[in-house]
Structure 1
Amino acid sequence: MATKLAGKKMLIAGEWEEKEDKIEVFNPENNELIDSVPAAKADDVRRAITLAKKGADVAADLSVRQRMDILNKTASYIEGNLEDFATTIALEGSKTINEARSEAARAAETIRLSAEEARRLKGESINFDQMPGNEDRMGYYFRFPVGVIAAITPFNDPLNLVAHKLGPAIAAGNAIIVKPATETPLSALKLAEAFMKSGLPKKILTVITGRGRDIGDSLIESKDVHMISFTGGLETGEKISKKAGLKKLSMELGSNSPAIVRRDADIELAAEATVSGAFAAAGQNCLSVQRIYVEEEAYDAFKELFLEKVKDVKTGNKLSESTDMGPLINEKEAMRIENWVNEAVDQGGTLLSGGTRDGAHYEPTVLEKVPEKAKVVKEEVFGPVVLLFKVKDLDEAIDRANNVNYGLQAGIFTSNINAALKASKKLHTGGVMINDSSDFRIDAMPFGGVKGSGLGREGVEFAVREMSEERIVCFKITE
């Protein structure tokens, strides 16, 4: 399947630039070279920040109508070139072509939502005369842009997670510098191209391609960067927070998402949703189902049905319409997951399905009776591995679900409204999905977690709030 791939140039303040030093981009499925992009250095970052400071003034001066028009045109551009975007996503990353089409469509929706939120970015009047002695005062507050935003994005959603940074930043009137994942920079560059073709003024947007070790510190430590929006792993997020200094931080970090299946659940629904939630995008999804706690009365029936559905997950060529699950992002990650699974088995876990690696491909894998001390229980596996646990009741399920340093989203399957409400109150997560797996999100909802899962909330409306600040205006009325 042929496609025109964006690459070879990066966007610095609205200008396309080449560099002699390149980063090669490979298809993880077969290690085939797809394209190459510039390998930026610290000097490129410093120049981009200097230009972004000027771009912040340009962005702030755009009217709401101008912002909306640019965002809506960008969304339409994505929709008009959907197959091209989808093929790029599939080739450079792990997603199947069907998953990639879904991501491209969501990216267009994210950008269009951003246009709507630009319209709704407003303040309200304040009754200053509520305090004695201020009867001659009146005023209001409005929201103004943060300024220059640095966005660092991961490989697993190389288009839509960039859209979740770019759309709200532009809606709020900011300049933004995007550093996409080294493994998957092409989708971000295609999105930048869409914005430039849709009339975004120069200096507002930079998409800089480079290795984190070469450009990361220059970007996050600069005092001229006013906010960092990061999506990635907990360890990297902690390092960024220590280096960033006094600036706004929005971080969507890792997860180890649980699902709870009660005795009164629709077992068919629970099995279908959790298999999809565990193995979509080869498990490389912060919302991926990793631990499933099933009440004793339902355990055997659920396990049998779950394993039957796992057998139906078809792995293979990412570009095949019939493939359900592609490879990991590289063989190194597949080997790490293989080691974690082997360790869990060595510690007493039982392998029910999968456990076999072929290059960067790792089979859909199911384990049970894994001890709590195992890495695959405590840490984020970020791969196609799911664990089954038998519990006596809802209280035990909630306690064990909470017993990790993550809390992004959780799912519970039950026909009992009281159980659902109890779980929604007691689970230590940013979201609880009732009769659905943790792997559910719409781009308009508040999205983020607690504990090691991050700081702040994304979702377009909420990201726009994070990327803007309140300013009070007060008039003293004089005769």
Structure 2
Amino acid sequence: MLDSIGVAPAPALLGGKWIDDGPVAERVGPFVRTVVSRARTADRADAVAAAEYARSAARSVAKLAPATRAATLDRAAALATERREDIARLIALELGKPIKDGLGELDRVADTFAVCAAEARRIGGDVLPVAGWERGIGNTALTYRAPAGVALAITPFNAPANLLAHKLGASFAAGNSTIVKAPPQAPAVSAAVVALLLEAGAPVEAIQLLHGGGDIGAALCAAPEVAVISFTGSAETGAAVARAAGAKRLVLELGGNAATIVCADAFLPAAARNCARTGYTNSGQSCISVQRIYVQRSRFAEFVDLLTAEVQALKVGDPLDPSTDVGSMVDDEAAERVLSWATEAVDGGARITVGGTRDGATLTPTVVADPAADASIVVREVFGALVTVLPFDDFDTVLQTCNTSRFGLQAGLFTNDIGRILTAWRELEVGGLVVNGSSNFRLDHVPFGGVKDSGFGRESPHHMVEDYTVVKTLLLRDLSIWGEN
């Protein structure tokens, strides 16, 4: 997986062949500060060639029986478990993500491929009740879910293995040929996951992998051969994807500035511990990472003290150290941006209770208490190792406050009051609510996605297979399985 000088190669997979000759881009690890991977980058001609190849390749992939696709995905799940340490190490090197979090991500990759296998076996259709209406008497109508054809998967850096497994696994389960546009920050991880599915038995016609920036993504989105696009990333880039794609089916999982509400009846030590653990996983670089914590005023000071103590106990350092809780962010610029927003909040009257410093791309886990309601760390997506804590007085009012966000991905709620739980589930403008947990919790086989600027569509294998397939109808005139009178 590493060459003789310790650099991981990230070749392109184009037209059925791995390609490493041509222009390359080097990835410097944000923690180790040296080159850790080298990707063969694509140009617009490669994007055109990939789309044309995928159009013809899609026909052969579609001929694979669902059971054949499922068996391949089950083997991929087993291989993900076998290769978990190697790929987790790549994640740590390319992204600064702690090795224990990378190992957890590979466990999720295995689960995701296994769930995709199960969904492949469930693909079917319906016999429609056409004879229930007079004009349908004497006829039969059937449907089945057919592959969409060519799918485009544009993946983000923050969970490069598992989010690729979701998109690629579901698309292959559906019977498509998939073009993967990898994140520039994690090219070797992306190549490793693609290679894993091929080793498991997927035909080479099923996958292509291109490395590059936004220009390559835009060219692929605009390609007429592409039928469906699944994108995970920022709201701004998601809007650009939609503009470039035109009239194509889209699944957009975009940004968030997730809120977690802590009510007075909550068990505060557990809530603080949970928020500390889930607010700084992957240095807060998750669309559902804990960002805004609203605590009932009567317990606000107590919670801030508990959270501060929990955050102080997190170990920050080398992502390859198994005991490290928080590694580096994706690059120096990201860490500096978050720190500047924290400084801006302090200038506006907030206080930093812990953290507030950085060393290169490593931002010490930071808690900002009582920022202004219009501070950047409240209204924008932080996507970094920073959590804000704000007081609230009235439950209905705090729900309205949460809903002022342009985002609506997921929320957390700590309470034992079933009335509040049901009210929050009904009133919060989010795609999911986690009770007695923070916003940052996900099961890979459960529907996941947002509303408003957090996107549309749902990223779980079952729902993604629906997005990656089309319903085809068969009408049998004057031939009926129903009564004819």
The TM-score with structure 1 as length reference comes to 0.97
Post-superposition offset of 1:274: 0.9
Post-superposition offset of 1:185: 1.0
Give yes or no for contact 1:121–1:143 (8 Å, CA) kept in 2. yes
Post-superposition offset of 1:393: 2.1
The residue aligned with 1:45 is 47
Give yes or no for contact 1:291–1:386 (8 Å, CA) kept in 2. yes
1:108 lines up with 2:110 in the alignment? yes
Residue 20 of structure 1 aligns to which amino acid in structure 2?
Answer: G
The residue aligned with 1:153 is 155
The residue aligned with 2:126 is 124
1:207 lines up with 2:198 in the alignment? no
Give yes or no for contact 2:10–2:188 (8 Å, CA) kept in 1. no
The residue aligned with 1:13 is 15
1:294 is paired with a residue of what secondary structure? Answer: strand
The residue aligned with 1:308 is 309
1:276 lines up with 2:277 in the alignment? yes
Residue 148 of structure 1 aligns to which amino acid in structure 2?
Answer: V
Q: Per-residue displacement from partner, 1:422-450 (whole Å, max 9, x unpaired)?
A: 11111110000010000000110000000
Give yes or no for contact 2:2–2:9 (8 Å, CA) kept in 1. no
Q: Distance in 1 between matches of 2:213 and 2:243?
A: 20
Give yes or no for contact 2:304–2:369 (8 Å, CA) kept in 1. no
Post-superposition offset of 1:59: 1.2
2:316 is paired with a residue of what secondary structure? Answer: coil
5+ residue gaps, structure 2, are 481-485
Residue 193 of structure 2 aligns to which amino acid in structure 1?
Answer: L
Residue 279 of structure 1 aligns to which amino acid in structure 2?
Answer: Y
Q: Distance in 2 between matches of 1:211 and 1:260?
A: 38
Give yes or no for contact 1:9–1:38 (8 Å, CA) kept in 2. yes
Deviates more, 1:334-343 or 1:244-253: 334-343
Question: Cα 1:344–1:64, aligned 2, differ >3 Å: closer, same or farther?
Answer: same
Matches within 5 A, 1:441-452: 441-452=442-453
Post-superposition offset of 1:134: 2.2
Q: Distance in 2 between matches of 1:253 and 1:94?
A: 22
Q: Per-residue displacement from partner, 1:17-64 (whole Å, max 9, x unpaired)?
A: 123210102211022111211011000111011110011111111001
Deviates more, 1:365-374 or 1:311-320: 365-374
Post-superposition offset of 1:6: 5.1
The residue aligned with 1:389 is 390
1:7 is paired with a residue of what secondary structure? Answer: strand
Give yes or no for contact 2:332–2:361 (8 Å, CA) kept in 1. yes
Q: Per-residue displacement from partner, 1:295-324 (whole Å, max 9, x unpaired)?
A: 112212211111110111110000111110
Matches within 5 A, 1:318-357: 318-357=319-358
The residue aligned with 2:258 is 257
2:134 is paired with a residue of what secondary structure? Answer: coil
Post-superposition offset of 1:133: 3.1
Post-superposition offset of 1:478: 5.1
Matches within 5 A, 1:218-237: 218-237=219-238
Residue 202 of structure 2 aligns to which amino acid in structure 1?
Answer: L
Give yes or no for contact 1:446–1:462 (8 Å, CA) kept in 2. yes
Question: Cα 1:225–1:149, aligned 2, differ >3 Å: closer, same or farther?
Answer: same
**Percent identical:** 36
The residue aligned with 1:58 is 60
The alignment of Structure 1 onto Structure 2 pairs a total of residues equal to 478
- Identify which of 179, 189, 192 aligns with 1:177: 179
Question: Cα 1:117–1:144, aligned 2, differ >3 Å: closer, same or farther?
Answer: same
The residue aligned with 1:68 is 70
Deviates more, 1:108-117 or 1:340-349: 340-349
1:399 lines up with 2:404 in the alignment? no
Give yes or no for contact 1:12–1:203 (8 Å, CA) kept in 2. no
The residue aligned with 2:483 is none
Q: Distance in 1 between matches of 2:114 and 2:226?
A: 26
The residue aligned with 1:286 is 287
The residue aligned with 1:366 is 367
1:142 is paired with a residue of what secondary structure? Answer: strand
Residue 399 of structure 2 aligns to which amino acid in structure 1?
Answer: I
Q: Per-residue displacement from partner, 1:392-434 (whole Å, max 9, x unpaired)?
A: 1211221111111001000000011111111111111000001
Give yes or no for contact 1:256–1:380 (8 Å, CA) kept in 2. yes
Post-superposition offset of 1:255: 0.4
Residue 440 of structure 1 aligns to which amino acid in structure 2?
Answer: F
Post-superposition offset of 1:202: 2.1
The residue aligned with 1:142 is 144
Residue 51 of structure 1 aligns to which amino acid in structure 2?
Answer: Y
Q: Distance in 1 between matches of 2:37 and 2:352?
A: 39
Residue 317 of structure 1 aligns to which amino acid in structure 2?
Answer: D
Post-superposition offset of 1:266: 1.2
Post-superposition offset of 1:104: 0.7
5+ residue gaps, structure 1, are none
1:241 lines up with 2:242 in the alignment? yes
1:187 is paired with a residue of what secondary structure? Answer: helix
1:400 is paired with a residue of what secondary structure? Answer: helix
Q: Distance in 1 between matches of 2:23 and 2:479?
A: 64
2:241 is paired with a residue of what secondary structure? Answer: helix
Q: Distance in 1 between matches of 2:407 and 2:38?
A: 36
Give yes or no for contact 1:182–1:211 (8 Å, CA) kept in 2. yes
Give yes or no for contact 1:369–1:389 (8 Å, CA) kept in 2. yes
Q: Distance in 2 between matches of 1:48 and 1:165?
A: 18
Post-superposition offset of 1:145: 1.0
Q: Distance in 1 between matches of 2:150 and 2:135?
A: 39
Q: Distance in 2 between matches of 1:148 and 1:311?
A: 48
The residue aligned with 1:457 is 458
1:341 is paired with a residue of what secondary structure? Answer: helix
Q: Distance in 2 between matches of 1:333 and 1:64?
A: 43
1:159 is paired with a residue of what secondary structure? Answer: helix
Q: Distance in 1 between matches of 2:135 and 2:310?
A: 71
Give yes or no for contact 1:58–1:201 (8 Å, CA) kept in 2. no
Give yes or no for contact 1:6–1:187 (8 Å, CA) kept in 2. no
Q: CA RMSD in A?
A: 1.5
Residue 325 of structure 2 aligns to which amino acid in structure 1?
Answer: D
Q: Per-residue displacement from partner, 1:338-383 (whole Å, max 9, x unpaired)?
A: 1111111112222221110111010111112211221111110000
Post-superposition offset of 1:388: 0.7
Give yes or no for contact 1:125–1:139 (8 Å, CA) kept in 2. yes
Q: Following superposition, which runs of at least 4 residues in structure 1 exceed 4 angstroms of deviation?
A: 1-6
